[in-house]
Chains A and B, each alone.
Chain A
């Protein structure tokens, strides 16, 4: 069953068009929604929850029309906002129990589900302490827990890695992966970094200026856009090592573009690494670095004119 469908979805505010004829389909699994600041990610979530009317177009969540079935959608969907939303003076347990009751769970069920859910997001003894004393990572877990406590079929996570350090970010991404893999709940997760969603999502949707830039499986996506950043030294034989490498890579059949001393090689498959290494060895130049580039969304946008075929 398709989880989310939008058809020509448009949202105009007096000054800006936040969503511009967005048409897409999201299947069960983890879907990353990527877009720069102001791309319309939060606006889309608001419409999907049935909280703001679309100016034009239509959307359905779990087969329910967002324009007319808001309350039913929200009974079956969990939402984690991008901003802080936690009162500091109550414990995680009290807070999540209350939110469970607000989702329609009876008092006993709310307490049981809260205990389970907090354990699943990795909050143990600290759940009885006031939230005000929590680290950012723990707060993000409480926010995730309140989105999961009523056992939704879909969760909408708005920038869940915001404000986290690299370790916290990886933990949160792992948790998001588990929400689908272990709990069987579909996930729509937003970010403005493509790189971090690559590892977590089955499918990636990129929006820019409110319209669809691209929607494809993560596999297609990374194959088409991932690149290897290579930097080499100069030698007596090759006074301009970078230039020599560029030629050698082209001869080896790799697509490369130079960015100063940095060579960006498109990663086509696993063999790309070996091909690059062999070509460099052949030239006899030194390899300063060879690393997979994490894509910032801006690069995807730069590629737009020659971009991938949109589905």
Chain B
């Protein structure tokens, strides 16, 4: 981004004597990619309260500990009771702890984007070399990375425990790998949904409420309709219902593509190859769609 020094100096009003106090900056000016990285790491750290007030660290750190604690307990049980396999599948872990993940997203997505909107700081970013897409990429990437840290760390804890308990290396490594893949997909999907909802309003409280509402209502609705379908013996429908809530969507993707056991009622995952493909497409569509919506949202707030 730096212009040639010759041009810079030549065009300065160098005929006048500058204030002794003012020094010009002739150092390096990093380009868009570095600026994007700087915003990414600042936002990622911010999602755990790092570089912010002590108070902002409390909630994310507690939730992080709550995510990891069950994994540590499972490890302990596995080692002491000499289990031959982990009592929880790697891919199931996030589904058990979805409430914690939802709470984390509800707190941190608005934290990441609402402040810039509420205090009208966004135009200041766009008055700098970065473009809209850089801002959205950095914020999206940071939220997804923060969620990945939250969901993948307990899997690491589980994996280490499994190896300490001398469980089969091959089976555990394969399971762990699939778990990481599913965690990455979950992080991207949830980051997109969380940021779109949070960026829709400069009011932080609304953002928090919207994220919690969307996650819990959709999950409750899917679960109860699944139960109804199950009681009527309509098991083919169960495998499709999971499309309508983020967590069950990921469950469908991982049960079809990664061979995980479905968490749906009766274990009915996507009923066939078409359904499997639809699940994957919907997940990818959600990620791409959220990105597009964020881009649109920030076009409006540019320099209004």
Contact residues of A with B, CB < 8 Å? Answer: 1, 28-29, 42, 46, 49, 51-52, 62, 70-72, 74-79, 81, 83-89, 98-99, 101-106, 109, 113, 116, 119-120, 146, 150-151, 153, 178, 180-184, 186
**Complex Cα–Cα for A74 and B39 (A):** 17
Residue with the greatest number of chain A CB neighbours at <10 A, chosen from B18, B126, B127, B128? B127
Other A-B pairs, 17, CB within 8 Å; known A81-B120, A87-B119, A103-B35:
A51-B303, A62-B11, A71-B32, A71-B130, A74-B128, A75-B129, A86-B121, A101-B35, A102-B38, A103-B128, A105-B30, A109-B27, A116-B23, A150-B29, A153-B11, A180-B13, A184-B12
A79: B residues at CB distance < 8 A: 124, 127
Contact indicator B120/A101 (Cβ below 8 Å)? no
B126: A residues at CB distance < 8 A: 51
Q: Does B259 contact A (CB under 8 A)?
A: no
Contact indicator B302/A104 (Cβ below 8 Å)? no
Contact indicator A87/B121 (Cβ below 8 Å)? yes
Please give the distance in Å from B17's CB to the nearest CB on chain A: 9
- Choose among A70, A75, A88 the residue that contacts B29 (Cβ–Cβ < 8 A): A75
A62: B residues at CB distance < 8 A: 11
Q: Does B231 contact A (CB under 8 A)?
A: no
Contact indicator B8/A153 (Cβ below 8 Å)? yes
Interface membership of chain B positions 264-304, coded 1 if the CB is closer than 8 angstroms to chain A and 0 otherwise: 00000000000000000000000000000000000000110
Contact indicator A84/B120 (Cβ below 8 Å)? yes
**Complex Cα–Cα for A83 and B122 (A):** 12
**Complex Cα–Cα for A153 and B7 (A):** 11
Please give the distance in Å from A10's CB to the nearest CB on chain B: 18
Please give the distance in Å from B144's CB to the nearest CB on chain A: 21
Q: In chain B, residues 101-138, which have Cβ atoms closer than 8 Å to a Cβ of chain A?
A: 115, 119-121, 123-131
Residue with the greatest number of chain B CB neighbours at <10 A, chosen from A1, A42, A76? A76
Q: Does B16 contact A (CB under 8 A)?
A: yes
Q: In chain B, residues 18-74, which have Cβ atoms closer than 8 Å to a Cβ of chain A?
A: 18-19, 21-25, 27-32, 34-35, 38-39, 42, 53
Given A109-B25, A182-B22, A71–B38 Cβ distance below 8 Å? no
Contact indicator B11/A104 (Cβ below 8 Å)? no
B131: A residues at CB distance < 8 A: 70-71
Contact indicator B38/A101 (Cβ below 8 Å)? yes
Given A46-B303, A116-B23, A184–B16 Cβ distance below 8 Å? yes
Nearest-CB residue, chain B, relative to A156: B127
Please give the distance in Å from B58's CB to the nearest CB on chain A: 15
**Complex Cα–Cα for A306 and B25 (A):** 47
Given A102-B35, A102-B38, A184-B14, A83–B22 Cβ distance below 8 Å? no
B81: A residues at CB distance < 8 A: none
**Complex Cα–Cα for A146 and B29 (A):** 16
Interface CB pairs A-B, < 8 A, 30: A51-B302, A52-B302, A62-B11, A71-B32, A71-B130, A74-B127, A75-B129, A77-B127, A78-B127, A79-B127, A81-B120, A84-B120, A85-B124, A89-B53, A99-B128, A101-B38, A102-B35, A102-B128, A103-B29, A103-B35, A104-B30, A105-B25, A105-B27, A106-B30, A116-B23, A153-B11, A181-B19, A182-B22, A184-B12, A184-B14
Q: Does B171 contact A (CB under 8 A)?
A: no
Please give the distance in Å from B168's CB to the nearest CB on chain A: 46
Nearest-CB residue, chain B, relative to A29: B13
Given A87-B115, A104-B29, A182-B19, A98–B12 Cβ distance below 8 Å? no
**Complex Cα–Cα for A42 and B304 (A):** 9
- Choose among A74, A85, A105 the residue that contacts B120 (Cβ–Cβ < 8 A): A85
Given A51-B127, A71-B1, A74-B129, A102–B19 Cβ distance below 8 Å? no
**Complex Cα–Cα for A106 and B29 (A):** 8
- Choose among A46, A89, A113, A183 the residue that contacts B18 (Cβ–Cβ < 8 A): A183
B11: A residues at CB distance < 8 A: 1, 28, 62, 153
Please give the distance in Å from B30's CB to the nearest CB on chain A: 4
A85: B residues at CB distance < 8 A: 119-121, 123-124
Identify the 10 closest CB pairs spanning chains A and B, nearest first: A182-B19, A151-B25, A79-B127, A104-B30, A75-B1, A71-B129, A1-B11, A104-B29, A87-B119, A183-B22
Contact indicator B30/A153 (Cβ below 8 Å)? no
**Complex Cα–Cα for A119 and B39 (A):** 26
Nearest-CB residue, chain A, relative to B10: A1
- Choose among A1, A113, A119 the residue that contacts B25 (Cβ–Cβ < 8 A): A113
B123: A residues at CB distance < 8 A: 81, 85
A180: B residues at CB distance < 8 A: 13
Contact indicator A151/B35 (Cβ below 8 Å)? no
Given A51-B127, A99-B124, A183-B18, A104–B25 Cβ distance below 8 Å? no
Please give the distance in Å from B200's CB to the nearest CB on chain A: 20
**Complex Cα–Cα for A98 and B39 (A):** 9
Residue with the greatest number of chain B CB neighbours at <10 A, chosen from A52, A71, A83, A146? A71
**Complex Cα–Cα for A72 and B2 (A):** 8
Residue with the greatest number of chain B CB neighbours at <10 A, chosen from A28, A103, A113? A103
Residue with the greatest number of chain A CB neighbours at <10 A, chosen from B42, B123, B126, B303? B303
Please give the distance in Å from B25's CB to the nearest CB on chain A: 4
